[in-house]
Amino acid sequence: MSESVYNVVELIGTSAESWEKATANAVSEAAKTLQDLRVARVIEQDVIIDNGQVALFRSKVRLSFKYDSSD
């Protein structure tokens, strides 16, 4: 296996349904602009409460993708 270098970014995905969907939303959006995504790690989860009810699930996700040194 060859040596590699990776970039890391943090994103917050949201969903009205679940933390899993919030995480998937963050990864899906990242994949639109970042190339060669490798690992997504959920580092924090919380909810937005409105009127005593959970209104929104949020997942903070740390994503790594292969560093491109060609720039």
Residue 71: its H or E element:
none
The C-alpha atoms of residue 40 and residue 19 are separated, in whole angstroms, by 14
Strand order, beta sheet including 53-66: 6-15, 53-66, 37-50
Domain boundaries 7-66, CATH class: alpha beta
Q: What percent of the chain has pLDDT over 90?
A: 80
pLDDT digits (tens, 9 = 90+) for 7-41: 999 999 999 999 999 999 999 999 999 989 999 99
pTM of the model: 0.85
Helix (H, G, I), strand (E, B) or coil at 3: coil
